[in-house]
Chains A and B, each alone.
Chain A
């Protein structure tokens, strides 16, 4: 239980919080490993599904070949490994309901800062476990992918993945903070999950949707934030978004990150002031 040998600083605090979160994550290792591996099972059904669809429909749908769509699906899995935040919003709302949130009001620690560190820790542990299976799947499915993209595309792809993580975090944190007003947010989260399912491009490329809805709705879809959680990084990697569109997309993603960062912070402060100290 020996302490650190130097005086604590902002950085060492962040490091210890991060380390403790990693340790906590590793406690239930069996459940964690199984949960991680199970996520790879749907890939097989997706490959069969899209093969059947393309056998019936022929060469290309909205500019995507069968190989494109399967590569796209695998890339959205990677994108979601960054942007999905299982249990974040419901966890915040649960802490508000049970009163555990008091800890963050009493101690000199910022809730969002702490949750972000915890999430980075959880994600890194996840990547450590999932890296092997991910590499194997991508290697086995290598034939579905186009040739390796060029340097700038790689940079844009990685940037969009990282911003996807931050965007997903602050978006879900904002949803969790709604718990200060409504206590129970499970229906809201269900609605979010449903919207995410369609509008993040998680299941199929957004072009499939935008080409079959009214133009005004299609243009809305190109502005909404959920696309950056799965569709955008995948489309960037596959070279579907290039030139000025690519940098405009990244700028829009950055703007959404700033928007949800601000919203989460404002919601947290207003929620604190509204908080009634539930749970004894």
Chain B
């Protein structure tokens, strides 16, 4: 049985619509207009124990809302979900002792006290036996190289150091399920890389089930074999990272290096020229035309080198998100006009 089971999960919010201006503000005192925003629109998902799954999607897609639902921070409007057999929004203590949520933009540590004090508090809150607590703390601080910072007030730590401490605090009770909401947001490349390495190592050695949301493709490529794409509150894709390009990209990128003065002037007839610096050119070609284009280029011109590549993943995903937003806009327009 899957460790996380989600069936028809929905969450909608009522959002106050305030018009611009002073008059509208006064009107708002007596009569308010609300709009129903559907953050999650019926998600079905199964996650097996030990999987490292990435939630990918544009801002406002419903990723964080889904993590909040699974960690019991909010209750759904409809649908069901179980994590380790528990219904998250019932907030049973047995459940809360077995998972952790880390939000990159939120601080769970005591701001004015050293992280060591927060850890000690967590030991008590999660009722961790002293030897287990000592062992875990030593191991985690060692892995993240923060031993020297434990007695420094949290407010005096850098963002990267603070994030490491947040991770330690969240992992002290050895959660079986870990929800990570943009854990590397705002960090520099070095800090991002360190946290990625740590999460990879930790998940592999412990077999923890992890759900991660991130905007950094590098995080996802480094950590997750399975990617779930959510846009407009719906699940759009569930599979491997590489599979995204196969499924959502309708074109390939053809790079040609022509022999001296052999470059044709009308490259546009092969596809959309992306970058032309004679004798080199990059052309975006529709997938179904790639064989024809290649044969006519190779038979008609002197070509020194050729390569056919998939477009960059970021580009495919950005296109997909843009399409999803257009669809959503047109649906909303249709809803308004009916």
Contact digits for B117-156, partner A, Cβ 8 Å, 1 yes 0 no = 1011101111111100110010000000000001101000
CB distance from B169 to the nearest CB of A (A): 10
In the bound complex, how far is the Cα of B123 from the Cα of A275, in angstroms? 27
B113 contacts A16, C-beta separation under 8 Å: no
Query: Which of chain A's residues have a CB closer than 8 A to the CB of B106?
Result: 99-100, 102, 279-280
Chain B, residue nearest A274 (CB):
B75
For residue A62, CB closer than 8 A to chain B, the reply is: no
Interface flags, B149-170, vs A, CB<8A=1, else 0: 0110100000000000000000
- Is there a chain A Cβ closer than 8 Å to B25's Cβ? no
**Chain B residue nearest in CB terms to A9:** B127
B75 cross-chain contacts in A, Cβ below 8 A: 273
Compute how far the CA of A5 lies from the CA of B91 in the bound complex, rounded to whole angstroms: 29
The answer on a CB contact under 8 Å between A106 and B72 is yes
Contact stretch, chosen from A20-28, A147-155, A226-234, A247-255? A20-28
Give the contacts of A1-39 with B (CB-CB under 8 A). 1-9, 12-13, 16-17, 20, 23-24, 27-28
Contact status A4-B123, CB under 8 Å: yes
* Contact between B123 and A8, CB atoms less than 8 A apart: yes
Interface size on B, residues (CB 8 A): 43
Cβ-defined partner of A106 (8 Å) among B13, B64, B73, B133: B73
- Contact present for A3 and B103 (CB under 8 Å): no
- The segment from B93-101, B283-291, B312-320 that touches chain A is B93-101
A276 to B89, CA, bound (A): 12
Shortest Cβ distance from A274 into chain B, in angstroms?
8
From A7, A17, A103, A280, give the contact of B127 (CB < 8 A): A7
Report chain A residues within 8 Å CB of B74: 275-277
**What is the distance, in angstroms, from B68's C-beta to the closest C-beta of chain A?**
5
Q: How far is the CA of A275 from the CA of B151 in the complex (A)?
A: 35
- Say whether A105 faces chain B, with CB atoms less than 8 Å apart: yes
**Given A6-B130, A273-B75, A277-B74, CB of A106 within 8 Å of CB of B101:** yes
- The 16 sampled A-B contact pairs (Cβ below 8 Å) are A1-B116, A3-B128, A8-B127, A16-B120, A17-B124, A27-B112, A27-B113, A99-B106, A100-B106, A100-B107, A102-B68, A105-B71, A105-B72, A108-B126, A275-B73, A279-B106
Binding site for B on A (CB under 8 A): 1-9, 12-13, 16-17, 20, 23-24, 27-28, 99-100, 102-103, 105-109, 272-273, 275-277, 279-280
Known: A13-B127, A107-B126, A280-B106. 8 other contacts (CB 8 A): A3-B134, A16-B120, A20-B110, A23-B113, A102-B106, A105-B73, A276-B74, A277-B74
